[in-house]
Amino acid sequence: MTVDSGFLKRLRSRGEEVFTQVSAELSSSPRFMQAMAGAMRGKEILCDEVATRQRLIRRLPRFEDEGRNIGIAAKAARKALFE
């Protein structure tokens, strides 16, 4: 079965026309533009939170090492004081 390439071109062209029309209508809507601005702010906040979490995760091994060292120092101090 062959597909008429002219038909596909017309279909694509019509799809582009509809998309352009819908985009123009949405862009002229203050409510839609306000919603888009809110969505972009939300995305920025989410990206910032993810970056912060990734930095903390990278630092976690260092915190674990410091906690272990504090525990060792506390044990040594107890031993020195009470033995």
pLDDT tens, residue by residue, 6-48: 899 999 999 999 999 999 999 999 999 999 999 999 999 999 9
How far is 83 from 69, CA to CA, in rounded Å? 21
Structure confidence at residue 1 as a pLDDT band (50, 70, 90): low
SS3 of residue 49 by DSSP = helix
Q: What is the pLDDT of residue 4?
A: 81
Alpha carbon 1 to its chain's center: 45
Is the pTM for the entire model greater than 0.95?
A: no
